[in-house]
Amino acid sequence: MRRLLPPLTGLTMLAALAIVFLVVPTEADMGIVQRIFYFHVASAWVAFLGFFLVAGASAVYLWNGSPTADRLAYAAGEVGVLFCTLVLVTGPIWARPIWGVWWTWDPRLTMTVVLWAIYASYLMLRGFGGDDPALARYAAVLGIVGVLDIPLIVVSVRLLRGIHPAVINRTDGGTGLVDPWMRIGLLVSALALILLAAWFMDLRVRGARLEEEVAALRRELDARRGEVA
């Protein structure tokens, strides 16, 4: 399964690119720039999955202290911030020609940038918090508090003024994705990005375990050197 992940990711990615750029019809009002939507929305889904995975793995870590859960939380945080960054990059590229501005304080935009900041600070804590072994526990607390904040952010940003299009669940009924290929394109690109995220996380989790093994071996080596001297 692990061996299959990279080629599977590559094939799905190629399929997503082919569907989005060759098959899906150009959107009538917005034109070519609308095609970024398939990666923008799919990245947002993956980012959210990553953030919830941080909270889930953090809760498991606090419950049973499993080092794998801790490594998974860290990797999910990295992947979540990466894809959230992609959302924040692809969004303005679309917004500039459509809204006329790169950025606006719409509820969804505000929510995304706040979530990005929360999990960026999670990575800061893990990266620069020192080498105290308790740091994993502190990070887990932050991972859980962060996900508790999400519903509050969602509700509070609605108090701001909004212009972001709601494509999937429209209040006027039906979906904004009129052509069936549009829906297929979105789903295939979401699948490709989920596979990519899984591959990244697998690499990071295994990398973290190797780093810990190296650190343990180095300590042992230093101890033995001390004995010889």
Partner 1 sequence: MRDALVILAKDLRIEWRTREGLSSVLVLGVLLVVVLTIAQDPSPETAPTLAPGVLWAAFVLTGMLGVQRAFVLERENDCLAGLLTAPLDPAAIYAGKLASNVVLLGVTQAVVVPLTGLFLHLDLVPRLPALLLVCLLGNVGFASLATLFGALAIRVRAREIMLPLLLLPLLVPLLIGAVQATCAVLVGGLAAASSGLGVLAAFDVIFAVAGWLLFAYVVRD
Q: How far is the CB of 191 from partner 1 (least distance, A)?
A: 30
For residues 74 and 112, the answer to whether their CB atoms sit within 8 Å is no
d(CA 220, CA 215) in angstroms, rounded, equals 9
202 near partner 1 (CB under 8 A): no
* DSSP 8-state class, residue 160: S
For residues 193 and 42, the answer to whether their CB atoms sit within 8 Å is yes
Q: Which of 67, 156, 139 is nearest to 105 (CA)?
A: 156
Pick the closer one to partner 1 by CB: 137 or 164.
Answer: 137
164 near partner 1 (CB under 8 A): no
DSSP H stretches of helix in 65-106:
67-99
5 near partner 1 (CB under 8 A): no
Q: How far is the CB of 202 from partner 1 (least distance, A)?
A: 27
In terms of phi and psi (left: phi > 0; alpha: psi -120 to 50; beta: otherwise), the region of 177 is beta
62 near partner 1 (CB under 8 A): yes
The single residue among 10, 149, 187, 208 that binds partner 1, judged by CB under 8 A, is: 149
Tokens 């095609």 sit at which residue?
Answer: 35
From 48-56, 155-163, 175-183, 218-226, span contacting partner 1 (CB under 8 A) = 155-163
Q: How far is the CB of 115 from partner 1 (least distance, A)?
A: 8
* DSSP 8-state class, residue 29: T
129 near partner 1 (CB under 8 A): yes
Q: Which residues bind partner 1 (CB under 8 A)?
A: 62, 110, 114, 117-118, 121, 124-125, 128-130, 132, 134-135, 137-138, 140-142, 144-146, 148-149, 152-153, 155-157, 159-160
